[in-house]
Amino acid sequence: MISDDGVEKKAGSEGAGPVDATFLAIESIIGSGAELQLFSVNNITSGTDSQGEVTVRLAKGGRIVNGQGADTDIVVASAKAYINALNKLMSKRQRVNPQM
């Protein structure tokens, strides 16, 4: 579920895999029109219950932003990273360095 201007919304989608389906479902709610330029996964802890950190880079209208998310479930970490990047992309504050 995503809260969009205080209204909780949910969507389902099919994609080339669970992460793609998650991104498509988020886009169906938000409708940002952003282009995914980078998707990167790294482990931040070790072991079978390790946390994964996902970084995504989105671009729209000449703006490029990075978003990060971490979770033991890589799909959840991916959704967190995508939403983090969307929040940055949609913020009114201009960012000089896309690595921020």
Q: What is the pLDDT of residue 93?
A: 52
- pLDDT > 70 in the chain, percent: 91
Q: What is the pLDDT of residue 96?
A: 53
- pLDDT > 90 in the chain, percent: 66
Q: What is the pLDDT of residue 97?
A: 56
**Confidence at 47, pLDDT banded by 50, 70, 90:** confident
Backbone φ, ψ for residue 76 (5° rounding): -65, -45
Q: Residues 15, 8: contact at Cβ < 8 Å?
A: no
Tokens 């929040």 locate to 87
49 pLDDT above the threshold of 60: yes
Identity of the amino acid at 12: G
Tell me the C-alpha to C-alpha distance, in Å, between residue 96 and each of 63, 65, 100: 9, 10, 9
Those residues whose C-beta lies under 8 Å from the C-beta of residue 97, and which sit 6 or more positions away, are none
Quote the pTM value. 0.84
94 pLDDT above the threshold of 70: no
Rounded Cα–Cα distance for residues 80 and 65 (Å)? 14
